[in-house]
Amino acid sequence: MKLAIRVRPGARADRVGGCWDGPRGPALLVAVRARAVDGKANEAVVAALAEAFGLRRSEVTIASGHRGRDKTVELTGDDDALRELAEKLTGPTPS
Q: How many domains does the chain have?
A: 1
Q: Which of 70, 10, 88 is nearest to 44 (CA)?
A: 10
Would you say 8 and 30 are in contact if contact means Cβ atoms under 8 Å apart?
yes
- Domain holding 77, by residue range, is 2-90
Q: Is residue 41 part of a domain?
A: yes
Q: Is residue 24 part of a domain?
A: yes
Q: Is residue 13 part of a domain?
A: yes
4-27 pLDDT, tens digit each:
999 999 999 999 999 999 878 899
Q: Is residue 66 part of a domain?
A: yes
The model's pTM is 0.92
34-63 pLDDT, tens digit each:
999 999 999 999 999 999 999 999 999 999
What is the C-alpha to C-alpha distance for residues 73 and 58, in angstroms, rounded to an integer? 12
Q: Is residue 23 part of a domain?
A: yes
Q: Is residue 95 part of a domain?
A: no
CA separation (Å) from 32 to 5, 64, 79? 12, 18, 25
CATH code of residue 10: 3.30.1200.10
Would you say 26 and 46 are in contact if contact means Cβ atoms under 8 Å apart?
no
